[in-house]
């Protein structure tokens, strides 16, 4: 079997790759470099010249070749490698007529626990959405911002004491509304300095959050370790890093309790499987970062089914616009678009769990003419400002 062509397919706010073979088997993957998809598309075109004519089943060799063929890396490059890698694993599953996870050692579980995205511009809205998630049968909510999901067009300022106490009180109100039958995954969006993060973690500790995610920017591993070693709330991080070496440096510093692996950014299924093995050696569980399309979810499910150290899987609402658009737009607008209309299958959770699927490969395809039906739109450059004009992380 040989690779005959590779097609880059930009759709809506997503970027897909489709790999064709001379056996009429195709593979589908997605790039997670969501802010720089145009650059990632060009990287895929570059790797295409190497991959045409190659055996698609030599996945590890191709992964190493693409990763080590140039002297530089970054989100656009790793997003491209991830998309191609996922597509090759999809082909392998279809070739051997098994789900991809069967080639990764087989399934370790029959169903996968998920958490539901919640958001709110007000405390009342956030509490209401957490209650809604419980009513839907979920036992965990994530992307839960204690600092609210205010429009990025609104200048920000809250005094320190009010910021910490209002956020902690908000989590207390949610805990009171949903009880202890629901886990709370707190998303801090890298918005705090180490001292602030320690103070916040200690303020919410009594409410037993599942974890606090990215309390500070992820660039300084020692800073993340400082926070993790001063608080009693588990830290989740990793969604913005790309390599197994970076995860090892965080793990060796005891800087995380949960590894947020971006399957479409950290090397695809191959890269994520490597990271999961390293994390297992450190007693750390995986929480796949999954804010993208149903194709990303399908790839994440293969990993979630195959690894032993899965904690929970992020499951965005695929019956609406993309999660990244909902959480990064300047105004939280409701738009008439369903991600589910782009693909042949969308997983559905029942009582907070997804059944492990049995379809060959990653089990999902794009609908015909998807790029024409849902034209690609580049994301706006848009971040929030403080009232003094400086940059605010949100």
Token code pair at residue 151: 């429009």
Q: What is the DSSP letter of 110?
A: S
Q: Which residue has the tokens 């073979």?
A: 21
Query: Can you give the residue ranges of every domain in the chain?
Result: 3-99, 103-360
Token code pair at residue 77: 């490059």
Contact 28, 67 (CB under 8 A): no
- CATH code for residues 3-99: 3.30.390.10
pTM: 0.96
Strand partners, 191: none
Q: Rounded to an integer, what distance in angstroms lies between the CA atom of residue 353 and that of residue 356?
A: 9
221-228 helix and 194-204 helix, angle to the nearest 10 degrees: 30
Q: 103-360: which CATH architecture? A: Alpha-Beta Barrel (3.20)
CB-based contacts of 56, cutoff 8 Å, min separation 6: 1, 2, 3, 19, 21, 27, 62, 88, 91, 92
Query: From first to last of its 394 residues, what are the pLDDT tens digits of the chain?
Result: 999 999 999 999 999 999 999 999 999 999 999 889 999 999 999 999 999 999 999 999 999 999 999 888 899 999 999 999 999 999 999 999 999 999 999 999 999 999 999 999 999 999 999 999 999 999 999 999 999 999 889 999 999 999 999 999 999 999 999 999 999 999 999 999 999 999 999 999 999 999 999 999 989 999 999 999 999 999 999 999 999 999 999 999 999 999 999 999 999 999 999 999 999 999 999 999 999 999 999 999 999 999 999 999 999 999 988 777 776 654 544 467 899 999 999 999 999 999 999 999 999 999 999 999 999 988 888 899 999 999 999 8
Token code pair at residue 61: 């060799």
């Amino acid at each position: 079997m040989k690779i005959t062509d590779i097609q880059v397919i930009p759709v809506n706010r997503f970027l897909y790759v489709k790999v064709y073979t001379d056996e009429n088997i195709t593979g589908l993957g997605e790039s997670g470099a969501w802010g720089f998809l145009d650059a990632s598309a060009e990287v895929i075109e570059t790797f295409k010249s190497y991959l045409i004519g190659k055996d698609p089943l030599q996945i590890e060799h191709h992964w190493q070749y693409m990763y080590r063929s140039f002297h530089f890396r970054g989100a656009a490059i790793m997003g491209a490698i991830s998309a191609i890698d996922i597509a090759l694993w999809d082909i392998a599953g279809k070739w051997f007529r098994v789900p991809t996870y069967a080639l990764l050692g087989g399934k370790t579980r029959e169903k996968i626990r998920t958490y539901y995205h919640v958001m709110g511009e007000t405390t009342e809205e956030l509490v209401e959405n957490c209650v809604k998630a419980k009513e839907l049968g979920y036992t965990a909510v994530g992307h839960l911002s204690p600092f609210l999901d205010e429009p990025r067009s609104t200048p920000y300022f809250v005094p320190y004491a009010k910021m910490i106490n209002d956020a902690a009180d908000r989590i207390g109100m949610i805990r009171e509304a949903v009880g202890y039958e629901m886990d709370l995954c707190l998303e801090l969006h890298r918005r705090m300095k180490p001292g602030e993060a320690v103070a916040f973690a200690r303020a919410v500790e009594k409410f037993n959050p599942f974890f606090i995610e990215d309390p500070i920017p992820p660039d300084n591993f020692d800073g993340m370790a400082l926070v993790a070693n001063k608080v009693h709330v588990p830290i989740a991080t990793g969604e913005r890093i790309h390599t197994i070496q970076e995860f090892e440096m965080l793990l060796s510093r005891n800087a995380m309790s949960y590894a947020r692996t971006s399957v479409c950014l950290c090397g695809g299924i191959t890269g994520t499987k490597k990271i999961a093995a390293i994390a297992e050696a450190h007693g750390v569980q995986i929480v796949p970062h999954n804010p993208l399309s149903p194709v990303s979810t399908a790839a994440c499910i293969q990993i979630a089914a195959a690894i032993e150290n899965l904690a929970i899987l992020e499951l965005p609402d695929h019956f609406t616009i993309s999660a990244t658009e909902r959480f990064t737009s300047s105004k939280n607008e409701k738009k008439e678009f369903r991600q589910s209309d782009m693909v042949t299958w969308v997983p559905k959770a029942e009582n907070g769990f997804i059944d492990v699927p049995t379809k060959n490969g990653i089990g999902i395809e794009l609908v015909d003419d998807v790029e024409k039906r849902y034209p690609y739109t580049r994301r706006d450059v848009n971040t929030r400002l403080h009232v003094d004009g400086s940059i605010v992380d949100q």
